[in-house]
A and B are shown apart, each in its own frame.
Chain A
Amino acid sequence: MTHHFNRYHFQGQHEGEQVLNIIHRHWFNILTHYLVVFGCAFLVFGSIGSFPILFPEAVTPANQAFFLFAQNTFLIFLWLYGFLVWVDYYFDVWIITSERIVNIEQRGLFIRHISELRFSRVQDVTSSVSGLLPTILNFGDVYVQTAAEEERFVFRQVGDPFAIKSEVMRLSRVASQENMRDLANALEKE
């Protein structure tokens, strides 16, 4: 079975391990951060046109150069902030492979947590969508109860949590059946 995620590769991927799904937080989550960025950008560009009209006496050649410098500096800050928000969003990812779930949490620039959960350790999966906007836009949380050291694996604010829950349950069932088959083969050999 071919998957269009085959072109994706992550650090620590095993040989033969297939990437089945790459999940990021829902776009609404990053939109709330970018509203601030867009709002500030609108103010900056708006001030370029409106300042000479509102404060004509303040518009001298020296002041114009200074305001241009201030606006340009503010744009640099906005651009850097926008990409820092993007890095925090885009590199927060859950990777579902043929063998496990890998959770990569990027917190800012210098903190990165990676945890994984093999499907054979999955005990129960719950999805949760609560609130008006999450219901309309279909995003929420998926909780994976595990038999591992980390008892609960959480997919936070992800799109279509019901589908993710179904996928994890299916892969967990397949892993259980494979384990049973391996156990039966091992017992037969004895």
Chain B
Amino acid sequence: MRLIFGLLYTLFFLGCLTTALFVVFHLLRYSLDRKVAVFGTVFFLSVFVILLFTNALIFFTLPLESLFPTFNTL
């Protein structure tokens, strides 16, 4: 059961990372002003990394067995 949730979370994690990479790509490639590009990228990535890191931490400490007891019988 933990494996299934782990796989689902991996998909979610990779999806978020991919979207973030696309945002950073656009900020760096298409910004007209270099300073705006750098500031925007740093601002976006700093908050995103903190959010994603804490999200992963919380996920791995989730007591899935007590949250979803019915899955334990499968």
CB-CB nearest in chain A for B65: A62
When A65-B58, A80-B19 are in contact, do A72 and B51 touch as well, CB less than 8 Å? yes
Q: How far is the CA of A104 from the CA of B54 in the complex (A)?
A: 37
Contact with A along B10-32 (1 / 0, CB 8 A): 00100010011011001100111
In whole Å, how far is B28's beta carbon from the nearest beta carbon of chain A?
Answer: 11
In whole Å, how far is A125's beta carbon from the nearest beta carbon of chain B?
Answer: 23
Q: How far is the CA of A112 from the CA of B30 in the complex (A)?
A: 10
Interface contact B30-A106, CB-CB below 8 Å: yes
Size class of A's contact patch?
A: 20 to 34
Interface size of B in residues (CB-CB distance below 8 Å): 27
Interface contact B66-A109, CB-CB below 8 Å: no
In whole Å, how far is A146's beta carbon from the nearest beta carbon of chain B?
Answer: 24
- Secondary structure of the A contact surface, majority rule: helix
The residues in A between 6 and 50 inclusive whose CB is less than 8 angstroms from any CB of B are 7-10, 22
Is A73 interfacial (CB 8 A cutoff)? Answer: yes
Interface contact A91-B23, CB-CB below 8 Å: no
Interface contact B32-A9, CB-CB below 8 Å: yes
- Secondary structure of the B contact surface, majority rule: helix
Is A163 interfacial (CB 8 A cutoff)? Answer: no
Interface contact A62-B23, CB-CB below 8 Å: no
Is A183 interfacial (CB 8 A cutoff)? Answer: no
Give B contacts to A, CB under 8 Å. Answer: 12, 16, 19-20, 22-23, 26-27, 30-33, 40, 44, 47-48, 51-52, 54-55, 58-59, 61-63, 66-67
A-B contact pairs, 15 of them (CB 8 A): A8-B32, A10-B32, A62-B66, A65-B62, A69-B62, A72-B55, A76-B55, A79-B51, A83-B23, A83-B44, A87-B26, A91-B26, A91-B30, A95-B32, A109-B23
Given contacts A7-B33, A87-B23, 11 further A-B pairs with CB under 8 A are A61-B63, A62-B63, A65-B62, A69-B62, A72-B55, A73-B12, A76-B55, A79-B48, A80-B16, A83-B23, A90-B31
